[in-house]
Structure 1
């Protein structure tokens, strides 16, 4: 029977995290599994808790949203340790990409009896991220700004915070000249955003890269080029289904190493966290992490 250590982000999860974890813990323990719960006090503390659990050969459960999943998963990448996801955030986009169940008993069954499967991770390198790893996507431009606004809001929850953040970001956006280098080949364009995606989803279930797979050893690079604000909002509406990739102002590239630069210091984010500006490099780490799903 597996032994688990749950690393919990109390700030992001809050009451939602408790509502998810408490019944899940009851299911796991009733089945005979051992479960320890650790509450992080910050990013470095969460990384330390994760490393300590991995050193003890525990299956590490990331309890929270995409930021927590990316932090814990990135810490475990390349170690051979096993990760389990307990979706308890606003977006839960990486869990969505894996097709994880949300019902407690079904999720417990995956964690108790599922076989670990290798998935890719993304190595992120910039002035403030010296070779850290994340799981879902790295994105630069208006979507990173929108995500920053969504994280800052205290009045709105869930999808509403993303919509409000997106509206604020787009209305104030100044079209930017990007330079995107994919496996050594340079592409220049003016527009809104660049997304290097390992997962199909970001931003609360938006299907930004419908062709992306978590285990194919490649990143899908989605470029949102210059257009009127009205056309941009129409394109954003298509993200619900992934139909935006058929629009002429959207380009999709694929590669293993992507560098994003711009003519001004636009923000970039990774797995829901935004605290830096371009330039940034994203490299796929094939099969770097074992996940239960």
Structure 2
């Protein structure tokens, strides 16, 4: 029977990580599994707790949103540790990409019985991040600004915070001149709203930014949204919910294993829902680097 350590972010999203964990924990224990619960003070502390649990051969449960999943999964990338997710954040986009059940009974059954499967991760290198691994995507531009606003929101939660943050970000946006290099080839220069290097197809609370991205194909899908009138970009924001934006001429998709993103100014970039750095950044896929219960 598996032994679990749950690393909990108590403040994840609109409901506490503890509340999300309780029904799953009860079912795991009733089935005979061992479960320890550790509460993190920060993402760095969560990484420390995850490594401690993994060193004891325990399955590490990341309880929270994409930031917690990315922090815990990132630090376990490249190890033999096994990760499980108990989503309880605003977006839960990596859990969505893995098609994890939301029902506690179905999720506990998966955690107890599923075999670990290898998924890719992303290595991030910049002035702030030196070899940090994340799970879902790295995005540079208006969406990073929008996500920063959403994370700062105290009045709005869930999808509402992303919509409000997006509207505020687009209203104050001026086009950026990007320079994108894929796998060391010739640099592409363009003006646009964002560049997203995606391992997962989802970001920003369920938006299908890269519908063809797969977490286990050894490649990153690089979605570029070029300059367009702001009214059209608002339309594309709605189209992100279904992936319909992919039919727009302003949207281009590149694929590769290593992506360098630069811009004409210090644009923010985000990774797994967290925004704390600015361009330039280099991202590299790490094929099959993480073992996940899915």
**Alignment partner, residue 238 of structure 1:** 239
**Matches of 1:59 and 1:114 in 2, distance apart?**
12
Cα displacement (A) at 1:90: 0.5
Cα displacement (A) at 1:243: 1.3
**Alignment partner, residue 79 of structure 1:** 79
Aligned residue pairs total 293
**Matches of 1:56 and 1:24 in 2, distance apart?**
22
Cα displacement (A) at 1:234: 1.1
Cα displacement (A) at 1:12: 2.1
**Matches of 2:208 and 2:43 in 1, distance apart?**
28
1:18-97 correspondence runs (5 A): 18-97=18-97
Cα displacement (A) at 1:292: 0.3
**Matches of 1:15 and 1:168 in 2, distance apart?**
25
Q: TM-score with structure 2 length normalisation?
A: 0.98
Cα–Cα, structure 1 residues 224 and 20, in superposed 2: closer, same or farther, change >3 Å?
same
Cα–Cα, structure 1 residues 239 and 14, in superposed 2: closer, same or farther, change >3 Å?
closer
**Matches of 2:109 and 2:54 in 1, distance apart?**
21
Cα displacement (A) at 1:41: 1.0
Q: Deviations over 1:244-264 (max 9, x none)?
A: 111000000000000100000
Q: TM-score with structure 1 length normalisation?
A: 0.99
Cα displacement (A) at 1:46: 1.0
Secondary structure of the 1:89 match is coil
**Matches of 1:51 and 1:275 in 2, distance apart?**
23
Tell whether the 8 Å contact from 2:260 to 2:280 is kept in structure 1 after alignment. Answer: yes
RMSD across aligned C-alpha pairs, in angstroms? 0.8
**Matches of 1:45 and 1:194 in 2, distance apart?**
30
Tell whether the 8 Å contact from 1:12 to 1:65 is kept in structure 2 after alignment. Answer: yes
Gaps of at least 5 residues in structure 1 are none
1:4-15 correspondence runs (5 A): 4-12=4-12, 15=15
Tell whether the 8 Å contact from 2:11 to 2:17 is kept in structure 1 after alignment. Answer: no
Tell whether the 8 Å contact from 1:90 to 1:204 is kept in structure 2 after alignment. Answer: yes
Cα displacement (A) at 1:10: 1.5
Tell whether the 8 Å contact from 2:7 to 2:61 is kept in structure 1 after alignment. Answer: yes
Cα–Cα, structure 1 residues 288 and 170, in superposed 2: closer, same or farther, change >3 Å?
same
Tell whether the 8 Å contact from 1:220 to 1:252 is kept in structure 2 after alignment. Answer: yes
**Matches of 1:282 and 1:122 in 2, distance apart?**
6
**Alignment partner, residue 223 of structure 2:** 222
Tell whether the 8 Å contact from 1:13 to 1:63 is kept in structure 2 after alignment. Answer: no
Gaps of at least 5 residues in structure 2 are none
Cα displacement (A) at 1:16: 3.3
